[in-house]
Amino acid sequence: MNGADAAAERVRNAPIGVFDSGIGGLSVLQALRAELPAERFVYLADTGHAPYGERGDAFVARRTHTLARYLVQQHGAKALVVACNTATAAAMDSLRQRYPLLPLVGVEPALKPAASATQSGRIAVMATRGTVSSARFGRLIAALPPQVRCRIQACDGLASAIEAQAACAPQDAAADAAKTLELCRRYVDTLGPWGNKAGETDTLVLGCTHYVFAQDALQQLLGPKVQILSTGEPVARQTRRLLANAGRLQSLPPSPSTQTFAF
């Protein structure tokens, strides 16, 4: 094997870097591991600054670049998955400028799939304030077919509650779960009415990776006639496509592993 081939082999066997402000990106990581079972992953949770959704774009962009730089320089990541809607909205364009040769995958609310899936012509999005106020999100909304109506809800406090619930001591679990449920109920009630009849919303888009961890509670509140869409599986498929196009898919026999770090 010559030097160029050896270098290419090292890149193929390098890990994929995945990061989020906290636990939300673990829902994306789960989909990635299912789609790419032979790959190695490094997951980075910026828990000291979580969640990002109610912080300013400049702050989120700085943190995003800090995490990306760490994964590239310290772990030799062959691709980066920004498993956070807010970070994608605030920093994906500048990340592409900083790393033009690196496969980069962001997370965006699944508005296009929702527009295709709805039967009533009405969809809704639950997301962080940082996401719904971003220009990137505005472009997604503008691209919706004119016959699809979309209601948008900035869910202040929900990502924080889900993060706290995941980290709580057993004796505090009931109280933290109740807080998460109450916030879900509040935002669901604001976005209604729900159902598959004319004038009702039949599709909910989860525009924050944290919200996947409240999906069961949301489904109970919405009922069986409402479908909930998230982005983990589409992100995993896009990651595979970009790695294949770049010649960076794992070439050795499977030796999957995941390293997790918290900042």
pLDDT in tens, 18-76: 999 999 999 999 999 999 999 999 999 998 888 898 888 999 999 999 999 999 999 99
111-230 has the same fold as 3-107+233-262: yes
Is 150 one of the annotated active-site residues of the chain? no
Contacts of residue 153, Cβ cutoff 8 Å, sequence gap at least 6: 124, 125, 126, 127, 132, 187, 190, 191
Residue 200 pLDDT more than 90? yes
Is 84 one of the annotated active-site residues of the chain? yes
Residue 261 pLDDT more than 80? no
Domain ranges of the chain: 3-107+233-262, 111-230
Mean per-residue pLDDT over the chain, rounded: 92
Give me the pLDDT at residue 258, please: 83
Q: What is the mean pLDDT of residues 87-92?
A: 96
Give me the pLDDT at residue 76, please: 96
CATH number for the domain running over 3-107+233-262: 3.40.50.1860
Catalytic residue, from 150, 155, 184, 208: name it: 208
Give me the pLDDT at residue 32, please: 97
DSSP 8-state class, residue 163? H
Please, which pLDDT band fits residue 8 given cuts at 50, 70 and 90?
confident
Residue with tokens 């997301």: 127
How buried is 192 (Cβ within 10 angstroms: 0-12 exposed, 13-18 middle, 19+ buried)? middle
Q: What is the mean pLDDT of residues 100-123?
A: 96
Please, which pLDDT band fits residue 151 given cuts at 50, 70 and 90?
very high
Residue 247 pLDDT more than 90? yes
Backbone dihedral region for residue 87 (phi beyond 0: left; psi -120 to 50: alpha; all else: beta): alpha
Give me the pLDDT at residue 54, please: 82
**Could you tell me the two tokens for 137?**
């999100």
Question: 111-230: what fold?
Answer: Rossmann fold (3.40.50)
More confident residue, 202 or 251: 202
Catalytic residue, from 84, 150, 155, 184: name it: 84
